[in-house]
């Protein structure tokens, strides 16, 4: 995802963009207006826009449902940026576990979450972050505290190919593949 006018790297810091919603929409959102009906998915950045919401965009119902889906008319899947990044590990000034970050992203309107460094130990148990997230979501589902949204399931399934992948041996002899090899 683009970070617009901020300089901070969300891998190691929490970027903050102090522009107004009007300025952000005018400067950064034009592609979404043009492409909202053709994009299959988008990824919000872990950037805080305090004049719009105190939460990073990927944890913000205001951004994901109000602006992206509402104002901009996007109806594809939304997947979080990597939840192991520094900017995704704090919310409202408080540290988040991987499970809490996952729940915040899903509750805000993400259809899928990315945990790209899932093998790193968690601070809570010393186990793998991915295991913590899966166990926590399963427990929340059993207790009736969280349920996958049907609309999210529809958007996730829409990303899957409708035809089987071309076998590797057949792909390697296709003219388009050979031409692509020449370009790189």
Residue 126: CATH number of its domain: 3.20.20.300
What does the pLDDT read at residue 29?
A: 82
The strand order across the sheet containing 112-114 reads 41-42, 77-82, 112-114
% the chain with pLDDT above 90: 61
| H helix and E strand count, the chain | 8, 7
d(C-alpha 90, C-alpha 94), whole Å: 5
CB 36 within 8 A of CB 29: no
Closest by CA to 92, choosing from 53, 64, 61, is 53
Exactly one of 11, 53, 61, 111 is catalytic; which is it?
A: 11
Residue 13 domain-assigned (yes or no): no
Exactly one of 17, 81, 82, 111 is catalytic; which is it?
A: 81
Residue 45 domain-assigned (yes or no): yes
Q: Is 11 a catalytic residue?
A: yes
Write the burial class of residue 126 (CB in 10 Å: 0-12 exposed, 13-18 middle, 19+ buried).
Answer: exposed
Residue 43 domain-assigned (yes or no): yes
Confidence band of 122 (pLDDT split at 50, 70, 90): low
Mean pLDDT of 28-45: 85
Residue 167 has pLDDT above 80, yes or no: yes
Confidence band of 78 (pLDDT split at 50, 70, 90): very high
Specify the number of domains making up the chain: 1
CA-based torsion, 159, 75, 56, 95: positive or negative: negative
Where in the sequence is the domain holding 165, given as residue range(s)? 21-183
Residue 34 domain-assigned (yes or no): yes
What does the pLDDT read at residue 121?
A: 65
pTM of full prediction above 0.75: yes
Q: Is 46 a catalytic residue?
A: no
The conformation of residue 121, written as its DSSP 8-state character, comes to B
């Amino acid at each position: 995802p683009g970070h617009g006018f901020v300089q901070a790297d969300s891998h190691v810091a929490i970027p903050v963009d102090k522009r107004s919603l009007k300025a952000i929409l005018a400067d950064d959102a034009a592609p979404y207006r043009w492409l909202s009906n053709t994009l299959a998915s988008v990824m919000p950045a872990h950037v805080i826009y305090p004049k719009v919401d105190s939460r990073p965009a990927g944890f913000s119902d205001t951004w994901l449902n109000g602006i992206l889906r509402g104002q901009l008319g996007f109806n594809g899947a939304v997947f979080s940026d990597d939840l192991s990044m520094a900017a995704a590990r704090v919310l409202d000034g408080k540290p988040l576990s991987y499970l809490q970050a996952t729940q915040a992203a899903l509750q805000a309107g993400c259809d899928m979450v990315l945990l790209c460094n899932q093998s790193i130990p968690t601070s809570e148990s010393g186990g793998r972050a991915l295991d913590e997230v899966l166990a926590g979501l399963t427990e929340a589902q059993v207790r009736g505290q969280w349920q996958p949204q049907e609309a999210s399931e529809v958007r996730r399934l829409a990303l899957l190919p409708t035809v089987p992948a071309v076998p590797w041996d057949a792909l390697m002899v296709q003219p388009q593949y050979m031409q692509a090899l020449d370009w790189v």
